[in-house]
């Protein structure tokens, strides 16, 4: 299937090798429960986007450019072994302390014939990993390489919260892993020295580090979609003056003691989040609370547990515009809903009779007015669940059918 439309204010997972997913997507794929499926939010949304050209980032990519104590900087892995430091903190020592509790996450998007990469935080010796949902969204295959022991493990998705960009993974067959030291984001204050550590650039191996300071708390970012004009807001974030880079997504924001105080999720790249061109992180207290909910198997309107059910269709907005002009039906002069742009062969959507140009108007009786709404309605469903979809065909006639969801990638 084609790729899902993602908000343009975030980076998708870093693509280390071609083919790369392009940051400006044309369609929203309902691979999953509607999925803005590969809705990669955040920094590492990671690098399908080129290196940042913002003054903050470009002028400080060279560690030698750091002229003030604990100024924003990105120290590459090679510098990590040379005693690089910033202010009173030895950055290489900080990387050495934190890195064994991290993993490099690599994904393959079978529907999209693409690859991606990000970072994860090890929560348990048995291989439970915390990361951003956008790092694994749309992935048909996921592996994680533990930095502590160098081994690569196949990964399953325990659950995810698309709205808050949090996912919990399980590394299969892992044991005796070193875990990250979890701090208290409630104790973070503006001006605190911090560092973002992760798989910047998706190159793998020894993580690189970006030093900086906390510039604001409880921040909100608005992510806009170039294609549909829709937007979504994320709140309660930690804003930092640090070079959070593509590939860092899902990695730790740490204090000078090496304790994780946040999960990196967005960075400056000319992105359109309204709070400015600095890095953003999810407070670790919030992320851990969501991970514990996932661990208990408690789903909600935002939290999905286990495998994802898919319709197997692609949609886009505005629904009323098709190759045949404006559709009309008994719903009114214009058909509300979202237009089907394509249907995957053999999918539940095809079996039900959906075709490109149709307009989905409801799911289980609830109105569908956007891809985001459809995704939300399907969040609580799983493969094998029966859902009823109503749509208008290209002649404007109402149709409906029961569809049994198939298994697909996380949304």
Domains observed in the chain: 43-302 (2.40.10.120), 307-408 (2.30.42.10)
Model confidence at 32: pLDDT above 60? no
Half-sphere exposure of 212 (CA within 13 A, CB side): 29
pLDDT for 112 equals 61
The candidate with the shortest Cα–Cα distance to 103, out of 140, 131, 77, is 131
Site of tokens 């935080």: 121
Active site residue 249: yes
- Better-scored residue on pLDDT, 8 or 43: 43
Task: Give the 3-state DSSP-derived string for the chain, with helices as H, strands as E and coil as C.
Answer: CCCCCCCCCCCCCECCCCCCCCCCCCCEEECCCCCCCCCCCCHHHCCCCCCCCCHHHHCCCCHHHCCCCCCCEEECHHHHHCCCEECCEEHHHHHHHHHHHEEEEEEEECCCCEEEEEEEEECCCCCEEEECHHHHCCCCEEEEEECCCCCEEEEEEEEEECCCCEEEEEECCCCCCCCCCECCHHHCCCCCEEEEEECHHHCCCCCEEEEEEEEEEEEEEEEECCCCCCEEEEEEEEEEECCCCCCCCCCEEEECCCCEEEEEEECCCCCCCCCCCCEEEEEHHHHHHHHHHHHCCCCCCCEEECCEEECCEEEECCCCEECCEECCECCECCCCCEEEEEECCCCHHHHHCCCCCCEEEEECCEECCCHHHHHHHHCCCCCCCEEEEEEECCCCCEEEEEEECEEECCC
pLDDT for 74 equals 62
Least confident of 9-13, 210-214, 275-279: 9-13
- Better-scored residue on pLDDT, 52 or 29: 29
Strand partners, 360: 338, 391
Active site residue 134: yes
Q: Compute the mean pLDDT over every residue in the chain, rounded to the nearest whole number.
A: 76
Least confident of 76-90, 132-146, 303-317: 76-90
Q: Could you read off the pLDDT of 308-322 as tens digits, one per residue?
A: 999 999 887 654 444
CA-CA distance, 52 to 14, in Å (whole number)?
Answer: 13
pLDDT for 76 equals 61
Q: Please identify which of the residues 249, 329, 347, 376 carries the catalytic annotation.
A: 249
Model confidence at 79: pLDDT above 60? no
CA-CA distance, 37 to 288, in Å (whole number)?
Answer: 23
Model confidence at 90: pLDDT above 50? yes
Q: Please identify which of the residues 5, 104, 165, 225 carries the catalytic annotation.
A: 165
Query: Do the Cβ atoms of 272 and 259 come closer than 8 Å?
Result: no
pLDDT for 396 equals 87
Q: Tell me what percent of the residues of the chain surpass a pLDDT of 70.
A: 68
Least confident of 62-71, 262-271, 394-403: 62-71
CA-CA distance, 224 to 191, in Å (whole number)?
Answer: 29
Torsion of CA 72, 261, 98, 114, to 10 degrees: -80
Q: Tell me what percent of the residues of the chain surpass a pLDDT of 90.
A: 52
pTM: 0.77
Mean pLDDT, range 181-208, rounded to an integer? 94
Q: Could you read off the pLDDT of 359-392 as tens digits, one per residue?
A: 999 999 999 988 888 888 998 899 999 999 999 9
Active site residue 62: no
CA-CA distance, 270 to 245, in Å (whole number)?
Answer: 12
Confidence of residue 18 (pLDDT cuts 50, 70, 90): very low
Least confident of 48-62, 126-140, 178-192, 194-208: 48-62
pLDDT for 6 equals 34
CA-CA distance, 192 to 187, in Å (whole number)?
Answer: 10
Model confidence at 333: pLDDT above 80? no
Strand partners, 241: 213
Mean pLDDT, range 187-209, rounded to an integer? 93
Q: Please identify which of the residues 92, 134, 304, 316 carries the catalytic annotation.
A: 134
Q: Could you read off the pLDDT of 249-280 as tens digits, one per residue?
A: 999 999 999 999 999 987 654 333 433 347 99
Half-sphere exposure of 205 (CA within 13 A, CB side): 9
| Maximum mean pLDDT: which of 69-78, 231-240, 392-401 | 392-401
Model confidence at 47: pLDDT above 60? no
Query: Do the Cβ atoms of 308 and 32 come closer than 8 Å?
Result: yes
Query: Do the Cβ atoms of 116 and 139 come closer than 8 Å?
Result: yes
pLDDT for 75 equals 65
CA-based max dimension of the chain: 71
pLDDT for 93 equals 93
Torsion of CA 250, 256, 259, 265, to 10 degrees: -20
The token duo for 26 is 């044309």
Per-position b or e across 289-304, b if 16+ CB within 10 A of its CB: ebbebbeeeebeebbb
């Amino acid at each position: 299937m084609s790729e899902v439309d993602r908000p343009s204010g975030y980076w998708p997972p870093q693509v280390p090798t071609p083919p790369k997913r392009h940051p400006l997507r044309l369609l929203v794929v309902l691979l999953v429960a509607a999925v803005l499926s590969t809705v990669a939010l955040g920094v590492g949304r990671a690098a399908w986007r080129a290196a940042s050209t913002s003054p903050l980032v470009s002028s400080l990519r060279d560690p030698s450019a750091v002229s003030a104590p604990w100024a924003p900087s990105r120290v590459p892995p090679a510098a990590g072994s040379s005693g690089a430091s910033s202010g009173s903190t030895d950055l290489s020592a900080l990387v050495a302390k934190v890195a064994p509790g991290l993993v490099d996450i690599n994904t393959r998007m079978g529907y999209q014939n693409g690859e991606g990469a990000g970072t994860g935080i090890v929560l348990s010796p048995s291989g439970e990993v915390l990361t951003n949902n956008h790092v694994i969204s749309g992935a048909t295959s996921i592996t994680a390489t533990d930095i502590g022991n160098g081994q690569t493990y196949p990964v399953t998705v325990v659950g995810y919260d698309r709205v808050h960009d949090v996912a919990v993974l399980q590394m299969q067959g892992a044991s005796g892993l070193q875990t990250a030291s979890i701090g208290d984001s409630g104790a973070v204050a503006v001006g605190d020295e911090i560092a973002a550590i992760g798989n910047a650039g998706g190159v793998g191996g020894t993580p690189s580090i970006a030093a900086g300071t906390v510039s604001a708390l409880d921040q909100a970012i608005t992510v806009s979609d170039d294609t549909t004009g829709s937007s979504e807001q994320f709140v309660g974030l930690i804003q930092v003056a640090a070079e959070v880079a593509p590939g860092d997504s899902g990695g730790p924001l740490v204090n000078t003691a090496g304790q994780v105080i946040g999960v990196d999720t967005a960075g400056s790249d000319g992105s359109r989040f309204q709070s400015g061109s600095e890095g953003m992180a999810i407070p670790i207290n919030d992320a851990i609370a969501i991970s514990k909910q996932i661990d208990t198997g408690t789903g909600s309107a935002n939290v999905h547990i286990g495998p994802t059910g898919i319709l197997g269709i692609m949609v886009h907005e505005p629904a009323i515009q098709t190759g045949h002009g404006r559709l009309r039906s008994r719903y009114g002069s214009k058909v509300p809903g979202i237009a089907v742009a394509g249907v995957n062969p053999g999918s539940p959507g095809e079996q039900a009779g959906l075709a490109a140009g149709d307009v989905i108007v409801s799911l289980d009786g609830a109105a569908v007015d956007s891809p985001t709404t459809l995704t939300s309605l399907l969040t609580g469903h799983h493969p094998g669940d029966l859902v009823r979809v109503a749509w208008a065909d290209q002649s404007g006639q109402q149709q409906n059918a029961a569809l049994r969801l198939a298994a697909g990638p996380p949304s």
